[in-house]
Amino acid sequence: METGDQRDRSKSRWRLLGAAAAIAAIAILSALLWQAANRLKTVEERLSRADERSQAVISRLTEYSRELELALERAQEARRRAEEAEAARSEAVSEAERVQSEAERARAEAQAAQQRAQAAQRQMEELRRRREQELDRMQEALSRIAPTRRTPLGMVVEMANDSFKFDFDQATLRPENRETLSRIAGVLLASSGYRLFVYGHTDDIGTDEYNQQLSLRRAQAVADYLIKAGVPADIMTTKGFGKSSPRVKGTTPEARQQNRRVEIGIVDTIIQYEGAPAHGR
């Protein structure tokens, strides 16, 4: 049987053992907690470094994203400019083709116009040659009737002197005048493409106004006779010059006789010549 002291000592030992076990447990737990704390700190440090790396990665990703957006914008702008350049090139090509087509058409038209002009020139030269031949024929025929001279516009038939005479202060045609005019009308009727200008003149006796009217009556008398002979009235123009254009200077009877005259200007209406109708000045 254990005594009370033994039981007390036994209890004390168990208490000591329990306390030691508790202390040991606490020590172990503390060690474990310290290790856990160290590991947690290490983990926290690793997590912090990982977070820093993650932030750096996120920052780089954000920067890359901005750069990518800028690159995309530049690519879109470059594409837009390329499309505009292609459109401009296509438009320039179309415009060049249009200009080339117009140039070719203009060259063809110019060539055709040149050919037409050359043909017209040849026709004009041939027409001029025929008209010159006609003028030569008329001049030859008229020269047998009255003095006839060529002018830049055609020719002038001078009816004065022995071929044609007016009495002093008269506009009446003499018989020999009618015969001369009949022969002239025959030559004119055998031709065409002319206009006639019948000009009357007087000598120096009398006033300017009276002589102008007298010269006009003389021109009209010649025109009326030619009309009766068959020459169309619509191709004739009459005008009186009075004493302003004497054929011969002087006051002798012979000079005055020559100045009392009529001139017929024959102008080609098919070939246009430069200048104005001559009236025998």
pLDDT at residue 56, as a whole number: 80
pLDDT value, residue 277: 43
Cα 217 to Cα 225: distance, rounded to the nearest angstrom: 12
pLDDT at 266: 93
pLDDT range class, residue 278, cuts 50, 70, 90:
very low
Helix (H), strand (E) at residue 165: none
Q: Confidence band (pLDDT; 50, 70, 90) for 161?
A: low
pLDDT tens per residue, range 69-98: 887 788 888 888 888 888 888 888 888 888
Q: What is the pLDDT at residue 189?
A: 92
Q: How far apart are CA 113 and CA 108, in angstroms?
A: 8
CA distance 147 to 219: 17
112-145 pLDDT, tens digit each? 988 898 888 888 888 788 888 888 898 899 989 8
pTM of the model: 0.57
Residue 44 or residue 196, greater confidence: 196
Top pLDDT among 278 and 104 is at 104
When the pLDDT of each residue in the chain is averaged and rounded to a whole number, the result is 83
C-alpha to C-alpha distance for 183 and 195, rounded to whole angstroms: 18
pLDDT attached to residue 279: 41
